[in-house]
Amino acid sequence: MLVRLVGSERGCRSGEHVDVELHLDRTGATWLGFSGEVVRAGHGEVAISFTSVPLDFADIVQDALVSALEGAAISHILLVDANGPRRAPFAALLRRAGCRVAEVATPLDAIAHLAGTAIRGWIVAISSTEPANTADELQRFLAEGDAPLDVRMLGRTLPTSALVWFTATAPGLG
């Protein structure tokens, strides 16, 4: 593992024993303790070779692999729209089309949902109507992130016509 040290953090010397706690699963908030040895230190970085791995590590890796396979097999759509009466029928249509749909009302809820899930490769459908600048800010924020997201802006269309447009333009849904 490579650790980049920030500012006044104390560095380690090569050969030094270290204990590290890592949070590897996004949703479970499980901290695991690893033991290791510093194999390289310098220039604000420390490289650690693990000498022991906790038993729970295998479960977390397995859960991550299952989530990745599930995510690849089914389209996961995060629908962001403050207007519940418009959001609900659109979500129902997407579910009938075979998608897994999560619904949120605000950009902060969307960010929290994405941060708390192990699924990668979400399609994020954002209502671009209320207010437009907030939707644009969320789209820019998601575009700058490191997760592979396909962001789609939804206009004022009715749910049925939005579904036709959405499935025609979203990969894997058409």
Q: Tell me the mean pLDDT per 10 residues along the chain, length 174.
A: 77 85 68 88 86 80 69 77 86 84 91 81 79 82 79 66 55 52
Domain boundaries, the chain: 2-56, 74-169
Residue 21 burial (C-beta neighbours within 10 Å; 0-12, 13-18, 19+): exposed
d(CA 129, CA 131): 6
Matching residue, tokens 């941060």? 115
Decide: 119 and 76 in contact? Cβ < 8 Å.
yes
d(CA 36, CA 48): 6
CATH annotation of 74-169:
3.40.50.2300
For residue 36, how many other CB atoms are within 10 A of its CB?
Answer: 18
For residue 115, the model assigns a pLDDT of 83
For residue 153, the model assigns a pLDDT of 80
